[in-house]
């Protein structure tokens, strides 16, 4: 390929220039993996997604997503949601069909498209069944890595590695103010994450706020070179499952997580949890398009 179209999607956003931006390259079958990695590095966003032909006959689309350091993302978060928002808003999906299957790595995951009033599109994606791998009793190390007093780590919800497709360390703190005060030391935090088999760190508080959210969160991922992400679907899924397990949220109801406020990119993530079923839903806005000259 000598050129490739790309699009910019603000995911988990109601208006442009909010939410989590995603660079999307459709029709990417002719790109090599090394080209995909180079393009992801060029965009320098938390993730860049490429739409390619599925290798599984039952899948409608296959998604490959890469971080700027070349790591492939195998979970279904904003990387996948942005792709489906683009597909629905650009006439790539039949208007009379709502159910689809996406292939990410070896996983085949259901996707539902709901067309709301006006032109809005809401995407609901099934994530992998929740798994909780281990608790992480390294409170002193986490206190140092996050630059928070150890007493601001919530002992009622011990740090725990959870996954609905990607392993993240879920760290509860005592207040929303503590979430905002965190200043992670990337080297120290990466050390804790690597020791415990986690990719990123999702710090959160269940303190109530005027927004009515079940949790207020920030996400740091030094293992793949992401300082902070404004909306992280692969972390919202396991957090919602954890809150439901610990009765901080109700099973069979939507768990609302607010993220990105500290970055000035407010995002609302919605996750439905019922036993082993976790579904992430959200909307977004396509804000730009262009052509890559390769």
Determine how many CB atoms are found less than 10 A away from the CB of residue 137: 10
In this prediction, what percent of the chain has a pLDDT beyond 90?
Answer: 92
Angle between helices 78-89 and 233-245 (to 10 degrees): 120
pTM: 0.90
Scan for tokens 């360390």, then name that residue.
Answer: 169
Q: Supply φ then ψ for residue 163, to 5 degrees.
A: -150, 140
What b/e readout covers 274-287, taking b as 16+ CB neighbours within 10 angstroms? eeeebbbbbbbbbb
Determine how many CB atoms are found less than 10 A away from the CB of residue 208: 11
The pLDDT, as a whole number, for residue 131 is 97
The pLDDT, as a whole number, for residue 1 is 73
Q: Calculate the alpha carbon distances from 58 to 128, 154, 190, 239 in Å.
A: 17, 44, 38, 30
The predicted-structure confidence for 191-206, as pLDDT tens digits, reads as follows 999 999 999 999 999 9
- Residue 52 CA to its chain's centroid (Å): 20
Which tokens go with 242? 């954890």
Q: Calculate the alpha carbon distances from 88 to 12, 26, 47, 83 in Å.
A: 15, 13, 20, 9
Average pLDDT over residues 244-248: 95
Quick check: helix, strand or coil at residue 58? Answer: coil
In whole angstroms, give the CA distance from residue 41 to residue 47: 9
Q: Give the CA dihedral 99, 243, 245, 183, nearest 10 degrees.
A: 110
Q: Calculate the alpha carbon distances from 151 to 96, 105, 116, 155, 206 in Å.
A: 54, 40, 44, 8, 16
Average pLDDT over residues 13-24: 93
With bands split at pLDDT 50, 70 and 90, how would you rate the model's confidence at 176?
very high
In whole angstroms, give the CA distance from residue 73 to residue 150: 32
Q: Supply φ then ψ for residue 35, to 5 degrees.
A: -65, -40
Contact 42, 294 (CB under 8 A): no
The pLDDT, as a whole number, for residue 118 is 64
The pLDDT, as a whole number, for residue 119 is 62
How many CA atoms are closer than 13 Å to the CA of 233, on its beta-carbon side? 34
Domains annotated for the chain, with CATH where assigned, are: 3-127+281-293 (3.10.310.10), 131-275 (3.10.310.10)
In whole angstroms, give the CA distance from residue 226 to residue 220: 7
In angstroms, the first-to-last Cα distance of the chain is: 7
In whole angstroms, give the CA distance from residue 182 to residue 145: 9
With bands split at pLDDT 50, 70 and 90, how would you rate the model's confidence at 158?
very high
In whole angstroms, give the CA distance from residue 230 to residue 219: 7
The predicted-structure confidence for 79-128, as pLDDT tens digits, reads as follows 999 999 999 999 999 988 999 999 999 999 999 999 876 667 899 999 99
In whole angstroms, give the CA distance from residue 147 to residue 210: 26
Q: Which of 47, 152, 167, 199 is catalytic?
A: 47
In whole angstroms, give the CA distance from residue 149 to residue 140: 9
Strands 254-259 and 267-274: antiparallel
The pLDDT, as a whole number, for residue 14 is 85
The pLDDT, as a whole number, for residue 47 is 94
Q: Is 47 a catalytic residue?
A: yes
């Amino acid at each position: 390929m000598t050129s490739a179209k790309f699009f910019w999607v603000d995911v988990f956003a109601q208006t442009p220039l909010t939410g989590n931006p995603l660079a999307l390259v459709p029709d990417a079958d002719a790109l090599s993996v090394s080209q995909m990695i180079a393009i992801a590095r060029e965009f320098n966003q938390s993730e860049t997604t490429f739409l390619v032909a599925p290798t599984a006959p039952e899948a409608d689309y296959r998604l490959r997503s890469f971080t700027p350091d070349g790591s492939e993302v195998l979970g279904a978060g904003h990387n996948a949601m942005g792709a489906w928002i683009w597909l629905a808003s650009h006439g790539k999906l039949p208007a009379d069909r709502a159910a689809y299957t996406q292939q990410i790595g070896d996983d085949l995951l259901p996707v539902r498209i709901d067309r709301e009033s006006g032109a809005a599109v809401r995407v609901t994606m099934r994530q992998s069944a929740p798994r909780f791998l281990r608790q992480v009793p390294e409170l002193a190390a986490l206190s140092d890595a996050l630059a928070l007093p150890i007493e601001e780590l919530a002992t009622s919800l011990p740090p725990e590695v959870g996954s609905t497709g990607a392993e993240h360390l879920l760290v509860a703190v005592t207040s929303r103010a503590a979430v905002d005060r965190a200043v992670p030391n990337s080297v120290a935090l990466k050390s804790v994450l690597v020791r415990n088999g986690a990719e990123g760190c999702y710090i959160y508080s269940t303190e109530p706020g005027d927004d009515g959210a079940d949790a207020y969160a920030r996400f740091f991922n030094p293992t793949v070179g992401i300082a902070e992400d404004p909306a992280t679907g692969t972390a919202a899924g396991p957090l919602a499952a954890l809150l439901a397990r610990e009765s901080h949220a109700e099973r069979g109801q939507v768990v609302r997580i607010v993220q990105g406020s500290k970055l000035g990119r407010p995002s609302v993530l919605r996750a439905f949890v019922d036993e082993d079923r976790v579904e992430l839903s959200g909307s977004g806005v396509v804000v730009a398009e262009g052509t890559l000259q390769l």
